[in-house]
Structure 1
Amino acid sequence: MLRDDPVGPRITYYDDATGERIELSAATLANWAAKTGNLLRDELGAGPASRVAILLPAHWQTAAVLFGVWWIGAEAVLEGPADLALCTADRLDEADGTGAAEVAVLSLDPFGRPAPD
């Protein structure tokens, strides 16, 4: 898919509440996945044996996060124990419940603004 048609849309995300709409090409999705994988591996210590809790809503960035987890060979989990948790600020209690040594809060802001305190 990346080789045959890197610029064609692969994911189209709509948010009815905000009116947000975004299309991700294979190249853009691969770029987000690589950046996420590098963050997980280089900054948060995740690797092929890691269990990464995904506590995120239906969102285009969640797709990129999942691909990033798989990019480094880690396991994405939706419940149970985890080595690392990725969540939104409103799900910090759930992230703490995973027993993860590291918790990263995502703002889901398309411009990368930090999550609110």
Structure 2
Amino acid sequence: MTRDPHDGAASDEAEWHQLHREELEADFDDAEEIAVEVAQPLNVSTSFRMSREEAAAIREAAATAGLSQSEWIRTVCVAAANRTTAQVTGISAFEARKLRSLLEQAERIVRPATQAG
């Protein structure tokens, strides 16, 4: 026996929407307009190799920034290409981020000790 798709809960919900369509339309008319930014299509892919340490640093940096790895890498690369990233004299941006991460780790270790004593 085949089930009629118009039977049951789906049918009840559809009927309710049909009966209340004017109320629903009024809700949409009163709704606040939301600005939507359409993302540029990403249709080019690239790949490269890196060390495990570099991959770990990238994963950590992306997580800290609240971005996916792809978003983070794309953001950093575009900023570097546009020369909008701060340059630290004598070391690369990657080395600067690595040092910053090490300093943050040291701070997490040292802070409780200084607060206790």
TM-score by length of 1: 0.23
- The structure with the largest strand share of the pair is 1
Larger radius of gyration: 2
